[in-house]
Structure 1
Amino acid sequence: MRLEIGYNHDFEVREETYLTATGPTFTVLYLSDLHLTPWSGPTIRKLEQTITRLNPRLLLLGGDYVDYAKGLPHFARLMEFLATRELVFAVAGNHDTFFGLERLRQLAERNNLVWLTDTAVELTLDGHRVRISPVPITEPTEGVDFSILCLHKPLDVTTLRCLPDLAFAGHLHGSQFVFWQSAQGLFPGRFFYRWNILKATVGRCLYLISKGLGDTLPVRYNCRKDVVFVTVKRLT
């Protein structure tokens, strides 16, 4: 059991593998809920080192980036660091509307990030069509080999008409206090939030929930911060 108070405690890399019969082989890193403050410099440096070490083919940012105006330079530094990477996609979180969504979006887009709003984007990886969407897809798309749903807030994937292969979300922070953990989720937060879990498999969909990298109220108990790294492998 571990009590963490403050902004710059270490985070873990949660690693998962997804096996696909027809899609491409690649890696994807999801990070969310930075909640940057004036004191977030060490977290950004550690995050840059982690991204460099993992070198993901795709990088997904899940929202809630800045809590204080003086945290904006740390966000700008991260955007500049990511500018040289080719496939970086971001969605907004609920906190971003309070701080200044358009300012964050413009800063991201100036550094070559793709800001996702309400439509999916498609790209080609090694000859395979991959779709990344910030919202659920309601109708199947012909010819898509692999689909990813990139969210901020978790939603009930069991109700979706078209399941993605991979789905990511954040927002819940693991509820910041974890007194016990089971296959059903992280408790006591799981009593209040159905998706206060680490992962779930629904049909072919692997659903992964990040505990985030920062908190507005910087107190956690037995709830280590994280990023989620997935290796997608084609069955041979």
Structure 2
Amino acid sequence: MSEPTTNKTITSLSRRKFLTVGTGLIGGLFLGKACWYEPRSFVVEKVQLSIAKIPPGPGLRIVHLSDFHLRSLPNHFAEAATTINELRPDLILLTGDYLDQARKLEGALEFVSLLRSEGGIFAVQGNWEYWSRLEGEPLRRKLAKAGAELLINERRDLLIRGIPLSILGIDYPSASQGLEKIRQAATSNRLNVVLSHVPAFGHDRLSPVADLILSGHTHGGQVRLPFIHPFYLPRFSAPFVSGLYRVTANNIPLYVNRGMGTSVLPVRFFCQPEIALLQLHSPAAGEVPW
């Protein structure tokens, strides 16, 4: 009579052990995905945009990067630089948050120095540059040595593949003043690409002149579950999370980059870091420009 009881006990213990071990393994897999795999697994997001001011021809290839949050240069960022250069961008545009702490900019500068672009590298500041008290002219000089130009409510005119364009950089803490300066600086006969660290600002004030707006800041939510709105977004983000949006009555394309690094916690979950390749081309016959 005792033998069946013993077998039931063994079976019960085996099932309990199986569930415990299985739960631990699943938890470990998710933890490894969030802490190790995803933060190191860059995705190249290729976005096609038809812009009325782009003439027929090959168009423009713009790489948009954001939110490095680097203290040193890890191997996966060095590998990402190789990937970016292999895309052969006409321009590389950076939208802020290159570091986490003051005096820890070396990793970001080393990363930027590895990047190559025919038309140059242009950048704006983010909130972490200000919180770390490394902003303005000191940051401008450091980025210049690494091969990038910092724009502080400024405009730079370029001619790439015969296309006249302007890069317009809105500074992070003075968005209102920056918007007015940028609006006055822009000219309608050029392709105007606006850089702003934060995506939520007065887009309408740029409506007459902007052809494309690039932003970061949100990290795409950084930690997410599929089909669910992010648990947290920083200020000046909502309703924008990541990807391509239309803003203003003119349907200006706004692209929000998920960023390359992590902030606060070194994890990403269902939100891989991003290298955005924006391919701008002339609208086809009958096509409505994006």
Aligned-pair distance for 1:199? Answer: 1.8
Paired AA for residue 9 in structure 1: R
Which residue is 1:28 aligned to?
62
Task: Name the Cα RMSD after superposition.
Answer: 2.8
Work out which of the residue numbers 208, 211, 221 in structure 1 matches 2:255: 208
Q: Does residue 1:155 correspond to 2:188, yes or no?
A: no
Work out which of the residue numbers 138, 163, 167 in structure 1 matches 2:213: 167
Higher strand share: 1
Aligned-pair distance for 1:35? Answer: 0.5
TM-score (norm 1): 0.84
SS for the counterpart of 1:148 is strand
Any conservation in 1 of the 2:260–2:273 contact (CA below 8 Å)?
yes
1:38-60 C-alpha deviation (Å, 9 max, x unpaired): 4x421321221121111110100
Any conservation in 2 of the 1:66–1:99 contact (CA below 8 Å)?
no
Q: 1:50 to 1:162 in 2, by over 3 A?
A: same
Aligned-pair distance for 1:168? Answer: 0.9
Matches within 5 A, 1:18-97: 18-24=49-55, 25-38=59-72, 40-68=73-101, 71-82=104-115, 85-97=118-130
Distance in 2 separating the partners of 1:161 and 1:151: 12
SS for the counterpart of 2:139 is helix
Which residue is 1:176 aligned to?
222
Which residue is 1:199 aligned to?
244
Paired AA for residue 33 in structure 1: D
Which residue is 2:9 aligned to?
none
SS for the counterpart of 1:179 is coil
Any conservation in 2 of the 1:200–1:206 contact (CA below 8 Å)?
yes
* Long gaps (5+) in structure 2: 1-28, 171-178, 285-290
Q: Does residue 1:235 correspond to 2:279, yes or no?
A: no
Higher helix share: 2
* Long gaps (5+) in structure 1: none
Q: 1:120 to 1:159 in 2, by over 3 A?
A: same
SS for the counterpart of 1:212 is coil
Q: 1:206 to 1:157 in 2, by over 3 A?
A: farther
Q: Does residue 1:13 correspond to 2:44, yes or no?
A: yes
Distance in 1 separating the partners of 2:195 and 2:86: 22
Any conservation in 1 of the 2:85–2:116 contact (CA below 8 Å)?
no
Aligned-pair distance for 1:150? Answer: 0.9
Work out which of the residue numbers 259, 267, 282 in structure 2 matches 1:219: 267
Q: Does residue 1:113 correspond to 2:148, yes or no?
A: yes
For CA contacts below 8 A with separation 6 or more, give which structure has more relative contact order: 1
Paired residue total = 232
TM-score (norm 2): 0.70
Distance in 1 separating the partners of 2:142 and 2:234: 38
Any conservation in 2 of the 1:180–1:187 contact (CA below 8 Å)?
no
> Who wins on radius of gyration, i.e. which is larger?
2
**Higher deviation after alignment, 165-174 or 77-86:** 77-86
SS for the counterpart of 1:124 is strand
Aligned-pair distance for 1:84? Answer: 7.3
